[in-house]
């Protein structure tokens, strides 16, 4: 991976101290999304990683909502479909749902019951891995549908929060890491 390309992406992640509450350093990807060259570079880097790691993949599953920003362009580049994993109540038809704990309470995710067939190979994408609760819940949903989860893939990992540990044996990859 080219250091110049990685720097182009890293330079477009903006830190916001004390957001959403005092003591938290928020990593904002809005500047990355606004810069077409940096965003293309991000998708290039993710595509290169997935192609090098997995010869066969069926779907990219993206987490509500920022996984929807990187998942579809990545899926299109790879020539595969995109599957949304949504907040509860946002998907029509039969769904599978799961409740999970957040830092400040509880949340629920859903996926359509026919989103993937048993054995289909899926990479789950999101913008950030913090405590790992949302990503872990998405993994459990896809495992219920008997998908083969190849990897959980994020732009940013907040290493000090140890979210990757919650994923147990599921492979995990982050493009950028912060303490």
> Are the C-beta atoms of 29 and 13 separated by less than 8 Å?
yes
Annotated catalytic residues are: 66, 103
């Amino acid at each position: 991976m080219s250091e110049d390309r990685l720097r182009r992406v890293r330079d477009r992640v903006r830190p916001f101290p004390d957001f959403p509450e005092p003591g938290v350093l928020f990593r904002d990807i809005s500047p990355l999304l606004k810069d077409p060259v940096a965003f293309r570079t991000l998708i290039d880097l993710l595509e290169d990683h997935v192609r090098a790691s997995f010869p066969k993949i069926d779907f990219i599953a993206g987490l509500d909502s920022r996984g929807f920003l990187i998942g579809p362009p990545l899926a299109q580049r790879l020539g595969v479909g995109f599957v949304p994993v949504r907040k509860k109540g946002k998907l029509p038809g039969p769904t599978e749902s799961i409740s999970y704990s957040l830092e400040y309470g509880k949340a629920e995710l859903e996926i359509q019951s026919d989103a993937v067939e048993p054995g289909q190979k899926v990479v789950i994408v999101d913008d950030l891995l913090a405590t790992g609760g949302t990503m872990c819940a998405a993994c459990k949903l896809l495992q219920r549908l008997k998908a083969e989860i190849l990897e959980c893939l994020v732009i940013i990992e907040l290493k000090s929060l140890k979210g990757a540990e919650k994923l147990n044996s599921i492979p995990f990859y982050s493009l950028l890491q912060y303490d």
